[in-house]
Amino acid sequence: MTVTGGKWTTYRAMAEDVLNKCFDAHLLPARNGKATAHLKLVGARASKHKISDAPGVHLYGAEAEAVQSLPGASHELGGGLTEAMVRFAARHEYARCVEDVLARRSRLLFLDAALASSMAAEVATLLQQENGVDPQLDAFLALCDQYLSLPTDAA
């Protein structure tokens, strides 16, 4: 069985549902569940101690120090996103294009399309430096334009 997709916060529940269906259909021998319930996810903090005062870095849990160690940790691009966060996304989270960073990692496209559009060129430059592949800037700017041209009032 392979379970793919979903968010880190739901993958265990999805896998448990799949396994229960397999057990019910006698495709697998039934076992007691919750084997991974106490395993920590990537980035989970070992303690409740504050890791950093830098805005947004708390979202990285135990990986906050790794983010802060990258170039540009104090250079905010906008919306709480730093150069180091973009570099971390490229190096460790498979971010390849501007949309990966500004829509899927930071959600800025959905929160403020104008801000995301204004940051896109700098994010593209960073991704190009990190990955050496086309960051698809023009496609992202076209997507921003679509969000910016949405009707603002409901009829």
Is the pLDDT score of 45 beyond 70?
no
- Looking at residue 101, its pLDDT comes to 96
Over range 113-139, report the average pLDDT: 97
DSSP 139: H
Please tell me the distance from the alpha carbon of residue 107 to that of residue 70, in angstroms, as a whole number: 21
In the chain, what are the domain boundaries?
A: 1-39, 57-148
In this model, does residue 5 exceed pLDDT 80? no
Whole-model pTM: value is 0.70
HSE at residue 28, side-chain half, CA atoms within 13 A, is 12
Mean pLDDT value across the chain: 84
How far is the C-alpha of 131 from the C-alpha of 95, rounded, in Å?
9
Flag whether pLDDT at 33 surpasses 70.
no
pLDDT of residue 20: 86
- When pLDDT is cut at 50, 70 and 90, the band that residue 51 belongs to is very low
Cα 136 to Cα 129: distance, rounded to the nearest angstrom: 14
Model confidence over 6-32: pLDDT tens digits?
A: 666 677 778 888 888 888 999 988 887
Q: What is the pLDDT of residues 91-113, one digit of tens each?
A: 999 999 999 999 998 899 999 99
